[in-house]
Structure 1
Amino acid sequence: MRVLVVEPECRPEVKEIDDSLSAMQEIVGGYIQAVHLDDLDDSVVLVCNEEGKFMNLPANRGLRDKNGQMYDIVCGTFFLCGVPPDSDHFTGLTPEQIERYRERFYTPEMFWGMDGHIVCLPLEVD
């Protein structure tokens, strides 16, 4: 299935992976967790390492609500894939979904704690 893989400090990359739990776990480096992105398409989920924060994986991208306010940070490599309604299986992304999410997660981000707040800055990469 065709997914969009997002690694820390890198631009998103389209990859073909097997539709298997082991292939998904290999990408995220452990147990998987599917996260619905509230402000975006309900037929797409972000799949990350369930224990990424506890494992001190590197901060990757901020998740934002429809107003652009950051509500969480994904740690470690994650990927985006399709999730049809009323199904317990993931599917590949459509070309339109790939472009939408490639644009959304295109710029890598860096995070700092400052005065009790988290500051997020874009990271320029080649």
Structure 2
Amino acid sequence: MIHAIQIPVDEQRPLYKVAINGLSSMQEAVGGYVQFIDLGPLHASMVMNEEGKLQKLPINRRATLMFWLLFPSVRHNDVIVGDAILVGLPDKDGNTTDVPQEVVDLLFGEKQLKAEFQTFDDDNKFNGNLMRFDDYFVAANYALGKAESWTAVQRCRVVLAED
């Protein structure tokens, strides 16, 4: 059994932690065959319904915001549809693992969050501002809006506000 986070397509429903017990449990959580997307910087994977677009499932705005935040090349070109879950990256044997604690802290933590931006002139540095957020997806939406309006922004991310 692994620990995961469910991202319901219905925004009236909150995110919640779920126990996944094998492939059939994962398929039940997303409503069909599973497709994984490696979320690189978060050391996690997003799992969704592989046939969701063929089935014309509704857009999962929260999962899409996370996807767009991590992968600038897909912004406005691809979306996540239907319910999604977050799990950890596979272990050395290819087995799915628990969603990382850092992701749990971002989505459920008590600390505030901030958006940070990396500009084209410095690939090694992220800069932020004084804006603070209580919700990951509000922060992600803010970050993506700023990235759209600031042409110098190469990447953006949401992190825990340490200050």
Structure-1-length-normalised TM-score:
0.69
Q: Distance in 2 between matches of 1:105 and 1:27?
A: 21
Q: Distance in 1 between matches of 2:69 and 2:87?
A: 19
Residue 68 (structure 2) aligned to one of 64, 72, 81: 64
The residue that corresponds to 1:123 in the other structure is none
Relative distance call for 1:85 and 1:2 in structure 2 (3 A) is: closer
8 Å Cα contact 2:39-2:70 kept in structure 1: no
5+ residue gaps in structure 1? 110-126
Give 1:23 shift. 0.4
SS at match of 2:92: coil
Residue 25 (structure 1) aligned to one of 16, 24, 27: 27
Relative distance call for 1:68 and 1:104 in structure 2 (3 A) is: farther
Give 1:36 shift. 1.3
Q: Distance in 2 between matches of 1:74 and 1:67?
A: 13
Relative distance call for 1:28 and 1:105 in structure 2 (3 A) is: farther
Over the residues paired in the alignment, what is the CA RMSD in angstroms? 2.6
Aligned length: 105
Higher relative contact order by CA 8 Å / sep ≥ 6: 1 or 2? 1
Higher strand share: 1
8 Å Cα contact 2:35-2:47 kept in structure 1: yes
Deviations, residues 40-84 of structure 1 (Å, cap 9, x unaligned)? 32x310000001111011110322145867242100001000114
5+ residue gaps in structure 2? 109-134, 142-163
Relative distance call for 1:66 and 1:11 in structure 2 (3 A) is: same
SS at match of 1:46: strand
Structure-2-length-normalised TM-score:
0.55
